[in-house]
A and B are shown apart, each in its own frame.
Chain A
Amino acid sequence: MMLPLYTHDLFGRATGMVLGTLIGIAFGFVLERAGFGRAPLLAAQFYGTNMRVFKVMFTGIATCAIGIGVLSGVGVLDLAQVTVPETFLWPQVAGGALLGVGFIVAGYCPGTSCAAAASGNLDGLVTYLGVGLGTLLFGGFYPWLEKFYTSSAMGVTRIDTLVGVPFAPVAVAVVLMAVGCFFGAEALERILARRGQTALPAGNLGVRNRTFVALAGLAVLGLATLGWQPSQAQEMPKPFGYISAIDLATRLSRAPDTLVLLDARPAGECKAARLRSAQCLTGQPAGFVASLPTTRQVVVYGNADSKALAQRLRAFPGEVLVLMGGYPAFAKAVLDPPLPPANPTPEAVAAYRTQSALHGYFTGNRQAPEPVQVRAAPAAPAGVSVAKKGGGC
């Protein structure tokens, strides 16, 4: 599993922003080339005279779906790491219908209004401003909308898991359905053009057919991945555990010899600042991971939690732990000076003592002073749960 790339902690915030902008540029370019910067062309969808919106959108969905089906089928893409919008059944149906009405009133949807504004169309700019205002309106009415907004929550519900089949065959079904609908849409366009004595939408048959052939090829590949089982068995994920920043700091102060610490962040960040006794993983020669002593546990950390970190240590036969929250969590819990508890209950003071002792050990700073006075813990009100601890995203 090499993809998605972000799971490897290869890029920090700055790289993420640049990549986001580049993807946006490609998106905007395609939207404008598709003709989506012109409201009358988009609105024609809803009068049947030009089904361009439907053709572009559905081809896009089918292409991406079958691409994901092929790549996850051959084990290159980890589907579990791809964000899938959660299903909230009725809010999505109602919101969709309302958005459809807004679409025909404005002549754009939010994304196409950006593309329109960028090509000089004032109506596009005004639409996008309206989207922002609508958001504020939603926020204003949120107390009344909240109940409906959070209703019929079904979590992440994918059609393939719902039906109980792999992703690829469902994606193939999407492709087949799309192509079938395209023939229907073109027939409707022809009928309406004849009746209204208007021009048929532009569209080179050769280009259309080549696109259909490409989709068919991808669909065949998608089906072929169903026979790909052997290599998936090879790709058994490396089992690993998690360790919290405070637990790691405690172990490092008591028994440092039982651990090997690896910094998996980009080489530059690792060289600039890493945990004491950690080695930079990036840039190590091949075979380094396999040569680590199996008598010790290996603790690896990046810029955040990531399952993929442990997978970089697949060659290590021993036990692997991933630092929860990565370097930022350790820096926050141990390297930053601890603040005395606002409410000095005995438990809070004990935790504060541990934290400031660890802070002193790792930074060489003197331990911070004791909080003024220990106060008895107030009885916890019934029904209030203990504060959430740890947890990745």
Chain B
Amino acid sequence: MSDQSPQDAGFWNPYFAGFMLGLVLLASFLVMGNGLGSSGAATRLAVSAAHAVAPQTIEHNGYFSQYFGPGKAVLDDWLVWEVLGIFLGAAMSAYAAGRMKLSITRGPRATGARRLVLALLGGILMGVASRIARGCTSGQALTGGAVLSLGSWLFMFAVFGGGYLAAPLLRRQWK
């Protein structure tokens, strides 16, 4: 052990943070009857932007057509508001802790440009993946895990499996 300060100094104890996360998730179930999510709102925002460009293509798409029809608005969903809340809450927390700073977080050997390209690529992979799995780490692993959904537990194991399998290939990026 050396005396360099660990990279997670200044953040909450992980178990305490997890306990608080569990309480927020529980509150969401008790009030809305639903857990948390974040990829669902990305879907709705992206579909709404694409609809502004090419309404016909989007409305006739076999998957996106579910968001359109009489009495439906693609952005009219509580998840969109919840994700707006994530932005506000995280900004409040970062600001109060003095961590609000324009930057690109990266491993010691990674360049900023390369980091952004990989961030976009990883995001795209997760976008596809979260639609195939019907949710992401929030909507499936956390939410479904807490209500003991079988598929959500398998999803969670698969996330860790996929991450550990691919990690050695990306060592240069992070170590």
Contact = CB atoms under 8 A, between A and B. Distances in A.
Contacts of B136: 99, 109-111, 131
B133 A47 contact: no
Select the residue from B88, B136, B173 with max chain A CB neighbours within 10 A. B136
B56 interface: no
A301 interface: no
A220 interface: no
A92 B60 CA distance: 26
A86 B151 contact: yes
Contacts of B86: 24-25, 27-28, 31, 111, 114-115, 118
A207 B15 contact: yes
Interface string B139-175: 1111111111111111111111111111100110111
Contacts of B11: 33-35, 41, 202
A105 interface: yes
Interface residues of A, number: 145
A264 to B, nearest CB: 18
Contacts of A359: none
A86 B125 CA distance: 22
Given A88-B151, A101-B165, A103-B122, A132 B43 contact: yes
Interface stretch (A55-63, A285-293, A310-318): A55-63
A4 interface: yes
A44 B175 CA distance: 9
Contact of B85 (A23, A81, A88, A97): A23
Given A24-B86, A52-B14, A85-B140, A122 B47 contact: no
A197 to B, nearest CB: 6
B122 A111 contact: no
Interface in B77-113: 78-79, 81-94, 97, 99-107
A118 B1 contact: no
Interface string A214-238: 1100000000000000000000000
A131 B42 contact: yes
Contacts of A157: 149-151
Contact of B19 (A18, A194, A214): A214
Nearest to A87: B151
Interface of B: 1-9, 11-39, 42-43, 45-47, 49-50, 58, 61-64, 78-79, 81-94, 97, 99-107, 115-116, 118-167, 170-171, 173-175
